[in-house]
Amino acid sequence: MLLRSGLGSLRLALPLAVLASASSIGGALLGLAMPANVVQMLLGGVVLGIVVLMLVTKKSEFPHVEKPDALSQALALNGIFVDGASGRVVQWQVHRTVPGLFVFLGIGVLAGMFGIGAGWANVPALNLLMGAPVKVAAGTSGLVLSLVDSSAAWVYINQGAVLPMVAVPSVVGMMLGARIGARLLNVLKGSVIRGMVITVLLFAGLRALLKGTGVWP
């Protein structure tokens, strides 16, 4: 749905996903080897750091990208979509592609290590660093997630760490929720999406930190 409407960009996702997928395999192996509470505390710290970053950055719904960098131009990392909330046609392009690729290499490690994906890191990296509109960042993040988590999931499956009876209800719920989210992403204002992302991240970050420290078992 997001790809058809242009809110997700395959062209933007592919280069980032290749790097993040490769590093997510290492992250998954690392996650399996580390104590669970350390993983939770790390996750909480990283997510809360991103909340602070998003709070202090203004005007991130439609970032102004003056000129795409050479790599972004060569790979044609740009797109167009109709914003369902305003009815406007929005053309976008990205910059800082090389730093973005390095950041996604790190995001892949985190995605694999925490075994839950790293949408919370994808959106700020695409939006705040590379300059994609927040809706394109959220939509493309879903696509990057699906590719990166495919790699990490195999590591967990091969290690016998996937309990189907725990995973199945979660996966079904997330897939149905994602379809609802995709519809909402099209019609809601960018500022509302940003507020929702910050709220969910704040809750998830606090939850992970408290779980890791044993305060909230």
Partner 1 sequence: MAVKPARETVVQPAEQLRYARLLDWGTRIGLFVLVLTFAAYMSGLTRPHVPLEQLPTLWGQPVGSYLQQTQSPLGWGWLALVQRSDVAGLVGIVILAGCSLACLLALVPLYLRRGDRAFAVLCLAEVAVVLLAASGWLTGGH
Q: What does the binding site for partner 1 look like in residue numbers (CB under 8 A)?
A: 1, 3-6, 9-11, 14-15, 17-18, 21-22, 25, 28-30, 32-33, 36, 62, 64-65, 74-75, 79-82, 87-92, 133, 146-147, 149-155, 157-169, 171-172, 175
Q: In angstroms, what is the minimal distance from the CB of 131 to partner 1?
A: 9
| Structure-token match 């998954």, residue found | 28
- Report the C-alpha gap between 48 and 216 in whole angstroms: 17
- Report the C-alpha gap between 50 and 199 in whole angstroms: 12
Check if the beta carbon of residue 63 is closer than 8 Å to that of residue 132: yes
Nearer to partner 1, 8 or 50 (CB): 8
Nearer to partner 1, 92 or 120 (CB): 92
Q: In angstroms, what is the minimal distance from the CB of 46 to partner 1?
A: 21
Nearer to partner 1, 56 or 165 (CB): 165
| Structure-token match 């490690």, residue found | 109
- Residue 95's alpha-carbon distances to 42, 74, 128, in angstroms, are 29, 12, 10
Q: In angstroms, what is the minimal distance from the CB of 184 to partner 1?
A: 18
- Report the C-alpha gap between 5 and 70 in whole angstroms: 27
Report which DSSP code applies to 78.
Answer: E
Nearer to partner 1, 44 or 112 (CB): 112
Nearer to partner 1, 74 or 184 (CB): 74
Check if the beta carbon of residue 156 is closer than 8 Å to that of residue 115: yes
Q: In angstroms, what is the minimal distance from the CB of 9 to partner 1?
A: 7
Q: In angstroms, what is the minimal distance from the CB of 10 to partner 1?
A: 4
Which amino acid makes up residue 155? V
